[in-house]
Structures are given as structure tokens and as C-alpha cells.
Structure 1
Amino acid sequence: MPPKDETQSLTHDLLRRAHSPDSANRIYSDKIQHRPLFLKPSSPPPSTARDARRKARHERRKRAKALKPKPLSARERRNLQLYRLPKEGQKYSIFAPLNNLWIGYIREILGTELYNGGQGAAAKLSAADFHGAEVEVSRSRCPSRVGVRGIVVKDSRFTFEIITRQNQVKTLPKEGTMFRIHVPAPDAAPVQKPFCFEIHGDQFQHRSSDRANKKFKHHFLKKL
């Protein structure tokens, strides 16, 4: 390593090549002399800092993903019988409060259209959830199903599973079936006539979660 005097003279010579002697002395005293020389960077460069932040985010997401439980597969749900109604729970009285909740829910959705109906009511009903609704088969290709009535305990893609007043669980296919539903008016309503509407099961062959974002179109309906 060259001595300090030789380093200073070399620095002065380089500065004098580009500047006058006075400017070279001033630059040396202001910008070079007594300035600290960092042998190690005081902070990482921007690229290294970005990589560190990116790595930290990746680690946090990885830990959060490890803590989040893995969703059950369809086979595991079937094996656990999550959607099976136990025999001790097959009672109409158990689901009667659910029907009362559904009536309040559908009244809130319909609003004033509960009394006058119309296309607005049809659009709202087509996207509504019918778990807890009391449905009655008004028309069907199978005559023995006409008149069957009960509370919907499961609304699947192709069927309504209901429980009747006789504590019987019945599975009603939507295809080729029309369902009638009565919604009683509130006690404080000026007109106490219940709001009645029918569902064409052929157009309701969707899960309740899928119907919320689906736009229904007019189709030719076969006579039942």
C-alpha cells in the first residue's frame, strides 16, 4: 500500500489535470479529505432490499398456507356423510323455525314487490336461496308426486330434498316438476293475502350458489 503522502500527491495530480490548482485544492479539501471510507456498505443496495422483501412475503404466505386447513374433497365429504340428515333429526318440528327464518328472508328480498309481483320479483326469486322454504308439488310428470309438501332441507343441482309434516324425508327431482310456494304477508300489512308463485324445476337445475350470478332466459316450456 503506498504511503499517505504519495496517495495525496497522486490525488492532487489527477485533480489538477481537470481543474485549476485552486479548484483542485478546494475539491480535495471539501470532498475527499477527512471523508469516511466505508469498507462495508451501511445498507443493502436496492435490488438486494427488494429481494429480501420479496422473500419475506413469500415466507409469510407459505406459513399462512401451511396453517390454513386443506378443503375436503367430494369423496371425503361423502364418507363423512356431511350432507346426510341423521334419523334423529328427521322431524318437521326441527325445521319449522328454519321456515320462519326463510319467510323473513324472502320478505326482505321482495320488499314492496311482495304485494304486486312482476318481473322484478321474478328476477329476485330466481337468484334466491330456497333452503327452508316450504314447497308443494303443483304439477309433475309423475302424478303420485302432485300434492307432496314439505320444507326444503337440501337444494342440490337436480333435486329438492324436503321433510314433510309426517316426518318423512323425500327427494323430489326438479326436472319435469313445478313447485308452488306461499309467502304469507306480514301481520302489519294492509293486505293479508299471501304471495304465491310457482317454480319451473327445469329452469332451476342449478345449485343455489350458482343461481345468484346466473341470468335466466325465456325458454319454451314443455307441458306437464
Structure 2
Amino acid sequence: MDTKPKKDQPIAAILLARAHEPDEANRIFTEKIQQRPLFLSASSPPPANARAARRRAQEKKKQQRKKALKPKPLSATQRRKLGLYDVPRAPQKHALFEPLHQLWLRYVREILGNEVYTGGEGAAAKLASADFHGAGVEVVRSGCVSRVGIKGIVIKDSKFAFEVVTRRDQVKLVPKEGTVFRFEVPVPVPGVKAGEGEKEREGPVQGGETPKMVFEIHGEQFQFRSADRASRKFRSHFSKKL
């Protein structure tokens, strides 16, 4: 039997013929090499999308790096421990918050628009989602009689209470539950046109009184944080306590 390797014989068959008998070498070559199954990964992208797959992988790595470098935000417990929600005692002066009150008046007139003159359900819906930091507030009714008459500027609008600084530079914590608060917004009076725009002025009109929009809120209906009220939709419903 001729055992010399042929020129067109694969190198694997030649090496097996040197180590095994011819029949055994042919069996091994047939089962292990020629008929060996080739397993393809199901997640392997086709050649046409290989470039897009590489781009997605690179973008994913970049996003993971950004997340690793970005610091985690502080939790509510950590913020309270650091005192981020506390107002320092030194600047608890009524005069210091007067500019904030004037800014709030411009803010509430802007969100009300023409409804500052008419009021109604549209104005109530806008006021329900407004921010009351800097608002001038007065307690008109309360379950605790000693709180009635407290008047000042809201320096903190939390979920369950208003913190108010009075004209005597005292900070009062007024719970919202069982309390009715009154707010007054001076109504701008159209003045005389000058140039291109129309000026607006505030102050006494001919009768000697400044027109104001006065509204009251029931604190029990406002037991939400100001940030939560901005995205919350309020619906009119009957309340037994009103």
C-alpha cells in the first residue's frame, strides 16, 4: 500500500498519517476536521451591519464613562443633614425679603395674564400650581386662634407648612392643615401710551384705593411641595371641611 503523501493532500491529513495507521488517520481526518460542525454566535452582527454595531458599542462605552464621572445627586436625608433647607438666622429680616416679594408679584401677574382682572376658574387653576416663595400672606382662619393675624412674606413653602417672616423680623412656622391663608396681588392699572409700548403703573387710582386681587387658599388643599404642584393637575371637587 502506498503511504507516501500526495501533493494535493491537506497538511492535517499528512500529519495524521505520520502519527496513526492509515484507516485511523482517515477516520480522524473525516470526523474531526472535514465533518466538524462550525457554531456561529446568534448575537454576531451580519457583515453589512458590523460598522453600525461598532458605533453603537463605542457610544455605549462613552455613556458608561460619563455616568461613572457624573456625581450622584444628594438624597433628601443628606440634604436635611447638611441643612440645605434651613434658613440661617442672620438673614431672617423682613427688609431682606422685600425684593423677593416684588419679584413674586411680577411672577404671579405674568402667569395670570388678563385673568388678574377677572379671576374665575382659570385664575384658580393657575394659582393652584404657582410657587409661593416670596408671596405676601396673612392667616385669616386657623384651628389655633393664636396664629390668626400672622402676616408677612413666605420664605419657605414646604409640603405641610409655610415659613413666614413678619415685619418684626420674626420667623413663624404656620402649618397648612386647618389654616386659611389670604394673598393680595396689586392689579396693574393701564397708563398713558408713550412711544411704542404701553406703560403700566401701580398705585392709588382716582378713588384713593389701590385695586387688588385678593384670594384665599385652604392649606389642607395645598399640602404638596411647590415643585410637585407645578406638574400636578387639580380638579374641582367638594370638600366637607370647606
TM-score normalised by L of structure 1: 0.76
> CA separation in 2, counterparts of 1:153 and 1:221?
30
How far is the alpha carbon of 1:47 from its aligned partner?
3.9
How far is the alpha carbon of 1:67 from its aligned partner?
2.6
More strand by share: 2
> CA separation in 2, counterparts of 1:101 and 1:165?
18
Match of 2:114 in 1: 112
> CA separation in 2, counterparts of 1:189 and 1:96?
19
1:157 aligns with 2:159: yes
1:101 aligns with 2:119: no
Match of 1:74 in 2: 76
1:86/1:135 Cα in 2 relative to 1: closer, same or farther (>3 Å)?
A: same
> CA separation in 1, counterparts of 2:222 and 2:171?
21
Unaligned runs of 5+ in 2: 1-6, 9-45, 190-199
Aligned positions of 1:121-200 closer than 5 A: 121-186=123-188, 188=200, 192-200=210-218
Q: Which moved more, 1:184-193 or 1:69-78?
A: 184-193
> CA separation in 1, counterparts of 2:130 and 2:106?
13
Match of 2:22 in 1: none
1:193/1:213 Cα in 2 relative to 1: closer, same or farther (>3 Å)?
A: same
Match of 2:61 in 1: 59
Report the AA paired with residue 214 of structure 2. C
SS at match of 1:85: coil
For the aligned residues, what is the CA RMSD?
A: 1.9
Match of 1:222 in 2: 241
Unaligned runs of 5+ in 1: 3-43
| 1:89-141 Cα distance to aligned partner (Å, 9 max, x none) | 11111111000000000011111111111111111101111111011001001
| 1:48-69 Cα distance to aligned partner (Å, 9 max, x none) | 3233112111111112212322
Which of the numbers 204, 226, 230 marks the counterpart of 1:212?
A: 230
How far is the alpha carbon of 1:153 from its aligned partner?
1.1
